[in-house]
Structure 1
Amino acid sequence: MKKILWGTICLMVIAACKNEPEKTTQTAMAGDTTKTPGPVEFADQKYIDMGKASLAKFASGDIDGWVSGMADNVILRWSSGDSLAGKAAVTKYWKDRRMNVVDSIVTSKEIWLPMNVHQPQSIEQKGIWLLNWHQVHATYKNKQSLTFWVHLDMHYNNDNLVDEIIQYVDRAPIMAATAKKK
């Protein structure tokens, strides 16, 4: 038994003395780059500035200024499934709405997240998306007012123009507030 124990100890000492290269693991640090980007990464902060300027124009009623940052083939989609196609249609709809329905809009509590989508995971396009959440306090021409949250997804084309907007909003309270009273 002593010989087996002594033999085992010798083998363990020999195995421990064997020079194997040290295994290392690397952890990515903030700011490090890799050869291939992940499916999504943060985009340039300039898109936040562009989005804030655009939202300010919209809230102030400057519809021409707001649509100036859009591509001619822009598509505006609402979460309800309705949509508008083309800058002319978006301009016409919102000018009419601001002149005949909406008296004022004040936005607050804004959150902005610029993303660069390299590998779409669903139906979204590749490229730059600016995600926004904000609270709206709207006063309508009929003197009704309403406070609600809006979520916007805006896609930028290669010319840094918005070519797709998806607006998530519960339109039922808006339609109720703007309905003509009988």
Structure 2
Amino acid sequence: MRKLFLFVLCASLFVGCKKEAAMEPATTTADTAKTVAPAEFADAKYTEIGKAALAAMTSGDMDGWTANYAENAKYYWNAGDSLIGKPAIDKYWRDRRMNVIETISFKNDIWLPVKVNKPQQKIEKAGVWLLGWYQVTAKYKGGSSMTQWMHILYHFDDNDKIDEVNHYVDRVPIMAALPQKK
């Protein structure tokens, strides 16, 4: 009985797939050329921009780190905090890197440059996005260190400048590693 059930199930799926395939209209090369994928891989140069940013942060080269930011850039964290404008982003991270973080390093980084042609939802922006995942270790001045995985999304404007950042971090290990104020 069990074998019969599996046979009928497989046969139904096979016949159903064949019917759907037969009902789909054939596409021509001209039709295919007009169809734009909702998303596609973007140029690898965006990966190099992400890697260069991490290298600049590691060395404390904050001018190099902010070099690819647009003047109107927005920086968002998953907790809801944000910075608006390149000067505010630069001031925050320059102060943090020079006065709070003694050393910082990144490893096991993974990058995916994507071009969104047709946003799937109203909140999604079209254009080039660089998705990054990496393990960060930060040693804080007067405190201890923390290691965690982070995820970051960079959106690029038409001039290949970063105009939006979405940074996903776990603040618990960061706060635990910072020196406690008395």
Structure with the higher fraction of residues in helix conformation: 2
The match for 2:166 is: 166
71-80 or 51-60: bigger deviation: 51-60
TM-score normalised by structure 1 residue count: 0.79
Give the fraction of aligned pairs with identical amino acids, expressed as a percent.
51
Q: TM-score, normalised by structure 2?
A: 0.79
Q: Which runs of 4+ in 1 moved over 6 A?
A: none
Unmatched 5+ stretches in structure 1:
1-23
Distance 1:125 1:93 in 2: 25
Larger mean CA deviation between 75-84 and 94-103 belongs to 94-103
Comparing 141-150 with 74-83, greater Cα deviation is found at: 141-150
- Tell me how many residue pairs correspond in the alignment: 156
> What is the Cα-based RMSD across aligned positions, in Å?
2.1
- Residues 86, 163 of structure 1: alpha-carbon distance in 2 compared, 3 angstrom cutoff: same
SS in structure 1 of the partner of residue 173 of structure 2? helix
Equivalence for 1:116? 115
Structure 2 residue ranges without an equivalent (≥5): 1-24
- Report the residue type matching 1:86 in the other structure: G
Aligned residue for 2:89?
90
Following superposition, the deviation at residue 25 of structure 1 comes to 6.2
Rg larger for: 1
**Alignment match, 1:157:** 157
Match in the other structure for 1:4 = none
Counterpart position of 2:50 = 51
In structure 2, the partner of 1:79 is 78
- Report the alpha carbon displacement of residue 35 of structure 1 after superposing the two structures with TM: 2.4
Output aligned runs, 1:13-52, within 5 Å. Answer: 34-52=33-51
Instruction: Quote the Cα distance in structure 2 between the aligned partners of 1:50 and 1:90.
Output: 17
